[in-house]
Amino acid sequence: MSSPYSGATPAGSPQGYASPTTPPMVEPATSQNYAADYSGSKGTPTTEEGRPDVEGTSVGQLIGEVTKDLSALMRQELELAKVEVKAEAKKAGQGAGMFGAAGFAGYMVLMFLSIALWWALSHLVGHSWSALIVAILWGVIGAVAFVMGKKKFQSVNPKPERTVETLQQVPSALKPN
């Protein structure tokens, strides 16, 4: 049963609301003043002072209206959150792609600088020895990075301490005092 105070009345109803697939009905100028359309707020008629006109409506109907409106609001908020998260994820993906491109460009710069160093050293000690010197330099840099990374991983605690602590407090919070 649909009441005249419902914000979700079907198309063709006396309130003049239209479904998304049908054209909107035009209300005569002498009809009741409705505070809403499909843009978001509920379709409760208002008095001349701007207050909801709920005279003659049962409390059950009003609670039903509030429940329907809250349900619609939650669905709309969830849909909005989905759209926002999708847009932000797209931007984050594009940013990650740019970081990947920057990393590859940095790698190429390092490679060509290494080749330049190799050729520069080749004038002093020969091609073979200069290549060996550049390789040893990169080996030392790699070993230092490995040791530092290993120390960082050893300091990582896989157990989420704060979450475990708060979860242990939940059962005592649910017990009656």
Confidence at residue 56, expressed as pLDDT on a 0 to 100 scale: 79
Confidence at residue 173, expressed as pLDDT on a 0 to 100 scale: 67
Mean pLDDT by 10 residues, the chain (177 residues): 47 45 47 43 70 80 86 89 88 90 93 93 90 92 91 81 75 69
Confidence at residue 158, expressed as pLDDT on a 0 to 100 scale: 76
CB 31 within 8 A of CB 16: yes
Classify each residue of 38-57 as buried b or exposed e, where b means 16 or more C-beta atoms within 10 Å of its C-beta: eeeebbbbeeeeeeebbeee
Confidence at residue 105, expressed as pLDDT on a 0 to 100 scale: 94
User: pTM for the whole thing?
Assistant: 0.43
Confidence at residue 50, expressed as pLDDT on a 0 to 100 scale: 78
Count of H helices and E strands in the chain?
3, 0
Separation CA 25–CA 18 (nearest Å):
6
Q: Which two tokens stand for residue 136?
A: 């040893």
Rg of the chain, C-alpha, whole Å: 34
